[in-house]
Amino acid sequence: DIQMTQSPSTLSASVGDRVTVTCRASQSISSWLAWYQQKPGEAPNLLIYKSSTLERGVPSRFSGTGSGTEFTLTISGLQPEDYATYYCQQYDAIPVTFGQGTRVEIK
């Protein structure tokens, strides 16, 4: 199975900050990577797919980059509604696998 490793596990940031989350794959996954946001008690919400394509309706402060084994999710100007847990997901191979999550907390 392809292992997905996110860093950091927890991130403390203030409103307005630029936040970056990293996701590393144990082998190359080309650009077959998605990012999700999950708030407590809610289902995950798709933010970005194919590494850098923004899902419709997602604010432009979210962006994604990377290919191969290293990927980043950036939030440019953190908003109060962005405090949540973020997961990366590879879909290059079965089984589809997720990172362990990065919790973005209020500083």
Partner 1 sequence: EVQLVESGGGLVQPGGSLKLSCEATGFALSSYSMNWVRQAPGKGLEWVAYLGSRGSSTIFYRDSVKGRFAVSRDTAKNSLYLAMNSLRDEDTGVYYCARGVSDGIPPDQFDYWGQGTLVTVSS
Q: Which residues bind partner 1 (CB under 8 A)?
A: 32, 34, 36, 38, 42-46, 49-50, 55, 87, 89, 91-101
**82/85 with CB nearer partner 1:** 85
Pick between residue 44 and residue 76 the one whose CB is nearest to partner 1.
44
> Rounded to whole angstroms, how far apart are CA atoms 57 and 23?
23
Q: Nearer to partner 1 by C-beta: 17 or 96?
A: 96
Q: What is the DSSP string of 71-104?
A: EEEEEES--GGG-SEEEEEE-SSSSPEE---EEE
Least spacing, CB of residue 22 vs partner 1, in Å:
16
CA 46 to chain centre: 9
